[in-house]
Copies of this chain bind each other. A is one copy, B any other.
Amino acid sequence: MSERPTTTSPRRAELLEAAYAYALAHGLADLSLRPLAAAVGSSPRVLIFLFGSKDGLVRALLERARGDELTLLDRAGQLSGSEPIGLAPAVERVWAWLAAEEHRPLLRLWVEAYARSLVEPDGAWAGFARATVDDWLTVLAACQPDDERDSPEGLIRRTLALTVLRGALLDLLATGDTDRVSAAVRAAC
Contact = CB atoms under 8 A, between A and B. Distances in A.
Nearest to A161: B184
Which of A129, A174, A185 counts the most B-chain CB atoms under 10 A from its CB? A174
A157 B156 CA distance: 21
Tell me the number of copies of this protein: 2
Contacts of A159: 171, 180-181, 183-184
A168 B164 CA distance: 8
Nearest to A116: B29
Contact of A115 (B30, B112, B166, B183): B112
A119 B27 contact: yes
B163 A184 contact: yes
Nearest to A127: B174
A31 B41 CA distance: 31
A133 interface: yes
Contacts of A118: 108, 111-112, 173-174
A149 to B, nearest CB: 15
Task: Determine chain A's interface SS by DSSP, over half rule.
Answer: helix
A39 interface: no
Contact of A160 (B114, B117, B164, B174): B164
A181 B163 CA distance: 9
A45 interface: no
Contacts of A166: 166-167, 170-171
A8 interface: no
Nearest to A136: B171
Nearest to A120: B27
Interface of A: 27, 29-30, 108-109, 111-112, 114-120, 129-130, 132-133, 155-157, 159-160, 162-168, 170-171, 173-175, 180-181, 183-185, 187-188
Top 7 A-B pairs, shortest CB-CB distance: A167-B167, A163-B167, A115-B115, A166-B167, A129-B174, A27-B119, A160-B184
